[in-house]
Amino acid sequence: MSTLFNNIGCLFTNSQGDSPVSLAARSAENFLGEICDAAIVVEDGKVAWVGESKNSPAADVQIDLAGQTVIPGFVDSHAHLMFAGDRAEEFSARMQGQSYSAGGIKTTVAATREATDAQLEANLARLVAEMHASGITTFETKSGYGLDVETESRSLAIAAKHTSETTFLGAHVVPQEFKDVAKFGSVEAGADAYVDLVKNAMLTAATPHAKWIDVFCDRGAFNVDQAREILQAGISAGLAPRIHANQLENIGAIQLAVELDCASADHCTHLTNQDIDALAHSNTVATLLPGAEFSTRSKYPDARKLIDAGVTVALATDCNPGSSYTSSMAFCIALAVREMRMSPAEALWSATMGGAKALRRNDIGHLSIGARADFAVINAPSYIHLAYRPGVNLISETYIAGRAVTK
């Protein structure tokens, strides 16, 4: 069966593929693939035809989108949805001046370990419904709030029922039980013991349910040598690498990301010119997470400098209970435009095609013929309104493989 979605005010297809590097090229070229008075035909969940409405072919079913704007579905390439509990009090304290150093993760770990599978899945389903309502059609999610073999494995098994983009993040932080100096002799010995657990028993249990492996390589988490050791173990087990890099401080994580051909280096808040040059000459996407800076009152990454250097940039929500408890990509777009000097067009591209590239996917993030028919309908005359009207959910409908998921 074919479905014709017609009477689209403006359609943005991202059909040009890679975005131009320079600002001059961006202003001169229609890199978002804009078509006005447009239509799109979907067959078997994929885009079969796209163009101006006046040229649209016949179809079995027609859906009138009443002059609204259509964009590719948002691709959220960095989220932490497998958790239990709440950290609202931590957020309140932070807003009153306490600093963020990833210390509150232990609170979520305790709650997640105690939660049943049903409770974890119900929380995941709630957040996925929020994402769909905000136009997100593909999402990645990580483990990382279990930090023991059983909870990491069951978290990923639950996540795998809802997305193919599952990430093993046993190396989130060193859990409290491995910080017992009396037991291990030193803090360093405890951390080494935990690294051994992550790259052996925990990795073995997680691998059947995971596509990716990730490490939080930063101050207060894992150093470069530990991160390399864990990521290489994951690669040997058949998982593809990605990395949390330089959120709190620059400890060399970007260079490691490029060395190991990580699909994405995420956060990228503290960068040297050498880091930026390395990213620009690599296959690694810089995934920026402005919700984290907003929620921790931290310095925003310099998206303008990255883009102008030729780095591929993605935007993601970083939805998690501690440092970015938002499932709204539109909110992250508004922050990127206001705080990170991205244009609205660059932000839209980064939240769609950029996210797809961070997941090394070519079937999503755009609406070219043959792509999966994932798209969001905006009740506004332009995608610019996503940043222009912050805090307002303008997504009226979300479609995954041509089927509405928000009605």
Question: Which segments are annotated as binding site for Fe(3+)?
Answer: 78, 80, 244, 318
Alpha-carbon span 56 to 64, nearest angstrom: 13
- Bridge partners of 324, per DSSP, are 320
Burial 352-376 (b: 16+ CB within 10 A, else e): bbbbbbbbebeebbbbbeebbbbbb
Alpha-carbon span 55 to 279, nearest angstrom: 42
Alpha-carbon span 109 to 147, nearest angstrom: 7
SS (H, E, C) the chain: CEEEEEEEEEEECCCCCCCCCCHHHHHHCCCCCEEEEEEEEEECCEEEEEEEHHHCCCCCEEEECCCCEEEECEEECCECCCCCCCCHHHHHHHHCCCCCCCCCHHHHHHHHHHCCHHHHHHHHHHHHHHHHHCCEEEEEEECCCCCCHHHHHHHHHHHCCCCCEEEEEEECCCCHHHCCHHHHCCHHHHHHHHHHHHHHHHHHHHHHHCCEEEEEECCCCECHHHHHHHHHHHHHCCCEECEEECCCCCCCHHHHHHHCCCCEEEECCCCCHHHHHHHHCCCCEEEECHHHHHHHCCCCCCHHHHHHCCCCEEECCCEECCCECCCCHHHHHHHHHHHCCCCHHHHHHHHHHHHHHHCCCCCCCCCCCCCECCEEEECCCCCCHHHHCCCCCCEEEEEECCEECCC
**Known binding-site positions for 4-imidazolone-5-propanoate:** 87, 145, 172, 247, 323
**Known binding-site positions for N-formimidoyl-L-glutamate:** 145, 320, 322
**Known binding-site positions:** 78, 80, 87, 145, 172, 244, 247, 318, 320, 322-323
**Known binding-site positions for Zn(2+):** 78, 80, 244, 318
Burial 194-231 (b: 16+ CB within 10 A, else e): bbebbbeebbebbbebbbbbbbbbbeebbbeebbbbbb
